[in-house]
Amino acid sequence: MQGVKKSDPEVYGHIVSEFKRQKDVLNLIPSENYVSKAVMEASGSVLMNKYAEGYPYKRYYQGNKNVDEVERIAIERAKKLFGAEHANVQPLSGSPANAAVFLAFLNPGDKFMGLDLACGGHLTHGSQVNFSGKTYQQVSYGVDKESGLLNMQEVREIALREKPKMIISGLTAYPRKIDFAEFQKIAEEVGAIHVADISHVAGLVASGVYPSPFPFTDVVTTTTHKTLRGPRGGMILCKEKYAKQIDKAVFPGMQGGPHMHTIASKAIAFKEALEPEFKVYSEQIVKNAKALADSLMNEGIKLVSGGTDNHLILIDLTSFGIGLGKEIAIALENAGICLNANTVPYDPSSPFKPSGLRLGTPVLTTRGMKEEEMKIIGQWIADVIKDYKNEKLQEIIIGKVKELCDKFVFY
Ligand code: DSN
């Protein structure tokens, strides 16, 4: 970083502080991860300088012989990793990927189904403050109030009644397995396109430790930076029969020039994910999440759905009070534990003052932590939750967190 240091000491200072923060906190944000040095280096390479509108070997500008190869490699590896017929690696992130899919299959005003934001869906699955809810007609499905689980019979009934043109399956805060095959079956029954948004679980899917939507799902969207441990970015995978529609929707429909430095980083991350060690890593993410969930429940903390099948856990704080998520997330950050406040299904409060906490294990697993550490971390989290106004306790725990982090240095 010597160039940054010399040219812009102010920004350099913040980057160094952020490096230190990432090293010294227990990062439990389930949508984040720490990428390899190779992935990071490619992101900062000269590929950043290249415009490459179009697709490999069919570009609008000259000078693409190197980036054409990089994008071809990324596409081939993405297809191999997931067993997909077609891959578009250009989406800038998850929301643009989903926006391109809407553009490919729907007209403004058309009806689609998505998981309610408050029940674990994403903004782009039809939230009223997002383009998806503003431009198209969303019909939401939720989770069962008691069990916190998806009810596929209800999803089918809504689909038969509403006849949507598209059904989105996928999650940002659902800690259990999703039956992608059943979603596809329902979509086929009502003549809808099925889009599985696997952003959170992509790494687990690639490793075979979570149900895969391949090869039967029409279209799959994902980010590349969560459990997949690649750069900030997105991707669309689909059946060959939708390839042209998807490619046209991404470019020129939705985006201009792709970010070739990010595509190079994606290619590297896919190579890493194709290695046997990545399966071991993914298995450990789930083992760690289960161990952390058990530790929290042993301390009397209530979890939505009573546990987890993937990398994430949703804590229901309503027994401590309504709308306490943010306040307790801040108390935990003061104790060196970083996660995010989140709504719980049928939250009696609002998204601005949610009643839950969302946490996950991708980063801690990348750092090499295992079940033993999860047990201790669960106890620390529970201690802070139960006494969240106790600043002295936060000070004690932050010291212990630092000691633990020093044993698991990643970069
Ligand atoms: N912000 C992402 C998450 O945390 O799940 C989704 O866009």
Q: What's the gap in Å between 260 CA and the centre of ligand 1?
A: 23
Q: What's the gap in Å between 21 CA and the centre of ligand 1?
A: 20
Q: What's the gap in Å between 59 CA and the centre of ligand 1?
A: 32
- Give me the phi and psi of 274, to 5 degrees please: -80, -10
Report CA 326 to chain centroid distance, whole Å.
Answer: 20
Could you tell me the sign of the dihedral formed by the alpha carbons of 17, 36, 73, 184, in that order?
negative
Q: What's the gap in Å between 205 CA and the centre of ligand 1?
A: 18
* Ligand 1 atom nearest to 32, measured from its CA: 4
* Residues forming a β-bridge with 111: 137
Residues 6+ apart with CB under 8 A from 255: 90, 91, 92, 96, 100
Which of 119, 129, 200 has most ligand 1 atoms within 8 Å of CB, for mutation? Answer: 200
Residue ranges for the chain with pLDDT beneath 50: none
Q: Name the closest-CA residue to atom 4, ligand 1.
A: 31
* Ligand 1 atom nearest to 173, measured from its CA: 5
What are the pLDDT digits (tens) for 352-368? 899 999 999 999 999 99
The whole model's pTM is what? 0.97
Per-residue model confidence (pLDDT) at position 324:
98
Per-residue model confidence (pLDDT) at position 281:
98
Per-residue model confidence (pLDDT) at position 351:
85
DSSP 191-203: TPEEEEE-TTTHH
Per-residue model confidence (pLDDT) at position 306:
98
What are the pLDDT digits (tens) for 296-323? 999 999 999 999 999 999 999 999 999 9
Q: Active-site positions?
A: 51, 53, 197, 223, 226, 232
Nearest to 148 by CA among 332, 339, 309: 309
Q: Name the closest-CA residue to atom 5, ligand 1.
A: 172
Domains, the chain: 40-273 (3.40.640.10), 277-407 (3.90.1150.10)
Kindly list the protein residues whose Cβ atom lies closer than 6 A to any atom of ligand 1.
Answer: 31, 94, 122, 172
Per-residue model confidence (pLDDT) at position 296:
98
